[in-house]
Structure 1
Amino acid sequence: MSNPMGSSPSPQPDLSRNRLPTLFEVLSRRTLPPVDLFSFYIYMRDQQRSVDYLDFWLDVAQHMSLCRHYVRELRRSVLVGTPDPEKASKRSSAILENIGDMNYPAAGPSMYATDKERDQDAQMSAYLREERGDNHDSPQSSNDRRGRPSPNVSSARDITTDSNSPAHTVARQDIRASAEKILYTFLLPGAEREITLPGSITQDVITSIEEYGRDDPEVFDVAKDYVFQAMERDAFPGFLRMKALGNLIPPTLIMRLILGLVSMFGGFWAAFILIFLNESRKTRLWLILPFTIGVYCLASYQYSLDPILALVGYSEYTPFNFSRVREPYVRKLLSQRALTVLTVTVVIDAALCVLFVLVPGKKL
């Protein structure tokens, strides 16, 4: 079934990927739990405490989607020979025809774009700047042609591809509102969710929007690429370690450490008591319980992995909330590590039990 808005299809998860995903694949929804965008959002919120950077990047990606959607509508009206006189002038018709349909799936960082995508995005931004200049001195005409609800730009994490473009027609002022929302939310000094960027980058964006009236996607390119590289360098490796090499979150790991230490202390205490009371080896077999719990919890803490949960295919994303592991390579990786953790647990547990069960008793 074709997309009625003429946008590209949603990126599909790569089930044959025999490697860990990249950050761009996560952000463009090409991965499955536990390395999906939802899990990364929770990680940035709960572990990194820097979810504002992710929200900024997603808001800018959504802004690009709005612009592409708007230009596609203009281009379609030109190609079918019924241009909207309030949207497309004769002078802009040729530009729109040369831009192309921009049917690529996601708005990503500049370094991942192809030459064709860069050229089309540059032409689109140039067209929006030119159109903005033509209409900047006529705010009334902009208000007259609105009459449509503005797109919801407050939930950027739900919109990361062009396939999620608004179902209604995008008005020119919607693009302006989107650009101003990003500026006032993330970039102005003292903003509600101000993010830290190099001063020159922030000032360039502020000047471009407030003084020159720009709202084209290129105005955010440098800031977006800077934030992407910062997340890729500082946050994403830790996210992969937590979600692709383990299946427990830090609060649970601390609980496992405490329970493991308490169980091991109880096991050693009971073992020496039973030995010095000269209890039978059959009675001392009960030591397997505290030692097994202790070794299992400490091994889970050491490897950030609950082996039983990994083998049945679950990963924790918030305390005591679990999701199925659906990314094939991650599921295989966790299963292999789970077998290693179980082997370590069994070997250490068996050694402790044999030592304290077979050692001769001596009644004091």
Structure 2
Amino acid sequence: MSDHNKTPSPQPDLNRNRLPTLFEVLSRRTLPPVDLFSFYIYMRDQQRSVDYLDFWLDVAQHMSLCRHYVRELRRSVLVGTPEPEGPRSKRSSAILEGLGEMNHPAAGPSMYATEKERDQDAQMSAYMREDRANSGLHDSPQSSQEPRNSTAKPSPNISTPRDVTTDSNSPAHTVARADIRASAEKILYTFLLPGAEREITLPGSITQDVTTAIEDYGRDDPEVFDVAKDYVFQAMERDAFPGFLRMKALGNLIPPTLIMRLIIGLIAMFGGFWTAFVLIFLDKSRLTRCWLILPFTIGVYSLASYQYSLDPVLALIGLSEYTPFNFSRVREQYVRKLLIHRALMVLAVTVVVDAALCVLFILVPGKRL
């Protein structure tokens, strides 16, 4: 069975001998510098598309909120809470009892879920649609031929999906159906509607289907967002994640620092060459010309760091930059090995080029003009 078909664990995989996948990063199964926090910073500062990641995280949190809600109802049924009368309520209770424990907390794209997880999520969504129809809060496609039109914004007093992140049984963490409805509407009004505060670009058919399901049919079950969530995941996996791995797994510097290294390197090399020719044509001693080691070393080191997006000294001591002059310790073991290997290569290149320049300009005979 492939890694994608296994039930993901929220704990980091300390024995991974490869680069992580985007799903593992989003599931918080990785460590710095390829963790979710670093990916968020990358999407915000480099890709300038953090709204897509926020949308995916909010939808994943909405799924967790729904699972929390259904687990609470399932526990109440299993401990003997009387069922309401009526064929629909009996059918809902049967679905509820057949769901199982739903102990897969990581909400990922549907193509990565196991058959059991897909079945459970589909049954959960079916139960939530049935539950809403029974409650009489909204008409549903099964119970009414006329869609419900609603443009009301979610109440600011209702908790949002980010407020519930625990599976605790305590009353303090009870999830109401109004919370789930508010969560779905918050995602719709924040990311999907034209002119939304943080509107993301999706195919028009996807946006229209989600809007119709939530506003006209009153749906708030997780399946409403499945197509949009999978589309956003694939877009991030295709357009953003390869660049993230190149920056974090093969390097340890960010673009602003790289530009600064380029400028310092060019200035140092210009100063080194200018000083070297001045000392040669003034016929200064080789001992005096040994000072050329300083600008050439700084120049070559800075340009090598720019070329390979890597500071070898920082890599050897296990640090990676995530914002200007702020560093995190490299804790992902496979990435640490890659960075050390590349650091040694960059140091070797630096030493060879620096030595060649210094030998050339120190040992060449002087000639006073």
TM score, norm. by length of structure 2? 0.89
**Equivalent runs, 1:166-177 vs 2, <5 Å:** 168-177=173-182
Q: Give, in angstroms, the shift of residue 9 of structure 1.
A: 10
Q: Which residue of 2 aligns with 1:77?
A: 76
Q: Which residue of 2 aligns with 1:57?
A: 56
Q: Which residue of 1 aligns with 2:3?
A: none
CA contact under 8 A between 2:33 and 2:332: conserved in structure 1?
yes
Aligned length: 344
1:325 aligns with 2:325: no
Q: Give, in angstroms, the shift of residue 80 of structure 1.
A: 1.2
Q: Which residue of 2 aligns with 1:232?
A: 237
CA contact under 8 A between 2:250 and 2:338: conserved in structure 1?
yes
Q: Which residue of 2 aligns with 1:255?
A: 260
CA 1:349–1:122: 2 relative to 1, 3 Å: same
CA distance in 2, matches of 1:90, 1:83: 11
Select which of 313, 316, 334 maps to 1:308: 313
- 1:260-283 Cα deviation digits (max 9, x unpaired): 000000000000000000000000
Calculate the aligned-residue CA RMSD, in Å: 2.3
Please list every run of 5 or more consecutive structure 2 residues that lacks an aligned counterpart in the other structure: 1-6, 140-156
Q: Which residue of 2 aligns with 1:187?
A: 192
Q: Give, in angstroms, the shift of residue 153 of structure 1.
A: 3.0
CA 1:53–1:351: 2 relative to 1, 3 Å: same
Q: What secondary structure, in the 3-state scheme, does the structure 2 residue paired with 1:273 have?
A: helix
Amino acid at match of 1:130: E
- 1:29-80 Cα deviation digits (max 9, x unpaired): 0000000000000000000000000000000000000100100011111111
Q: Give, in angstroms, the shift of residue 83 of structure 1.
A: 5.2
Q: What secondary structure, in the 3-state scheme, does the structure 1 residue paired with 2:219 have?
A: coil
Amino acid at match of 1:21: P
Q: Give, in angstroms, the shift of residue 154 of structure 1.
A: 5.3
Runs of 4+ in 1 over 2 A off after TM superposition: 82-86, 88-92, 136-139, 149-156
CA 1:137–1:345: 2 relative to 1, 3 Å: closer
CA distance in 1, matches of 2:12, 2:353: 40
Q: Which residue of 2 aligns with 1:297?
A: 302
Q: Give, in angstroms, the shift of residue 10 of structure 1.
A: 6.2
CA distance in 2, matches of 1:25, 1:208: 30
Q: Percent identity?
A: 85
Q: What secondary structure, in the 3-state scheme, does the structure 2 residue paired with 1:13 have?
A: coil
TM score, norm. by length of structure 1? 0.90
CA contact under 8 A between 1:263 and 1:293: conserved in structure 2?
yes
Q: What secondary structure, in the 3-state scheme, does the structure 1 residue paired with 2:32 have?
A: coil
**Equivalent runs, 1:149-228 vs 2, <5 Å:** 150-153=158-161, 168-228=173-233
- 1:60-103 Cα deviation digits (max 9, x unpaired): 000000100100011111111125869x9444221111111101
Amino acid at match of 1:54: L
